[in-house]
Copies of this chain bind each other. A is one copy, B any other.
Amino acid sequence: MKLGFLTAALPGMALNEVAGWAAESGFGMLEIASWPKGKAERRYAGVSHIDVAGLDKAGAKEIRSMLSGHGLDISSLAYYPNYLAPDSGQRQIVAEHLKNVIDAAVLLEVPIVGTFVGADQAKSARDNMDDFATVWPPLVKYAGEREIKVAIENCPMVWEQTWPGGQNVAYSPSIWTRMFEIIPDENFGLNMDPSHLIWQFIDEVRVIQDFRDRIFHFHAKDMEIDREMLYQDGVLGAGFSWAIPRLPGLGAVKWPEVIAALYRNGYDYVVSIEHEDRAFEGDEELVKRGFYLARDVLNPYIV
């Protein structure tokens, strides 16, 4: 395996700066933020380390050359919008940009694009799956024709503003099973993030076993359960007060069992750190210290 990270946590650094720091810090892969150029719409979203819409062969070659000079590979291009938003105009805009990301992956020789399936937060999971069945088949087909895999992250995107349904319906085993019934294509799979399973009380190790053929990419993020706040607010509080994103090693994910399961399945690709730990935010130095901690905790298991 190789250790990597999602570049979105370093929005103030240019890609070559990120690459330089990653290489000297011992990382081997980058999951590169590929939002459209423009203003970030939420924390970490909207970051763009590659302008995929404006990328041509020459630009792609330059990037690949710069990265290989640092001994780095791109594990995936990252673009996580809402394809099932109520507004059909927005649906079209993000779908168009996904095609740009896929095209860029082809130019950059990156095998995977990571994204969400989206959701209309006012609808139930069942109703969102109906929309999914309409919106997603052509997108997966577009990627498949270009030999690009689409890896869906399992973050429910639920917070106070997106309560109750969240903006990404792909959050549970029963829903993934339904997803792969609707789209059985081999280039459609998961960017599995175990942290989102912790607060749902879903066993993250069993998930790795059950969906072994669909896990294309793996996120290293952790989740702490604040027991006092869980008591105060309960499950109906939807984790707003008691599910706290942490760096790997600082939460409840059973990392040795998780990585043991990945190896047993023959997974031999990236473990990509996603940094959303508020205790290590605020300035770039603190963000980097967070990455160091995650790296040092995971490194013994990465060979």
Contacts and interface: CB of A to CB of B under 8 A. Distances in A.
A118 interface: no
A201 B160 CA distance: 21
Interface stretch (A51-59, A140-148, A167-175): A167-175
A297 interface: yes
A197 B251 CA distance: 21
Copies in the complex: 6
Contact of A163 (B164, B209, B266, B280): B164
Chain A contact-residue range equals: 35 or more
A124 B156 CA distance: 18
A266 B249 contact: no
A278 to B, nearest CB: 8
Contact of A231 (B164, B202, B280): B202
Contacts of A93: none
Contacts of A289: 303
Interface in A247-280: 249-251, 256, 259-260, 263-264, 266, 279-280
A235 B202 CA distance: 8
Given A124-B163, A202-B230, A296-B300, A244 B224 contact: no
Interface of A: 124-125, 156, 158, 160, 163-166, 171-174, 197, 199-203, 206, 209, 224, 228, 230-239, 244, 246, 249-251, 256, 259-260, 263-264, 266, 279-280, 289-290, 292-293, 296-297, 299-301, 303
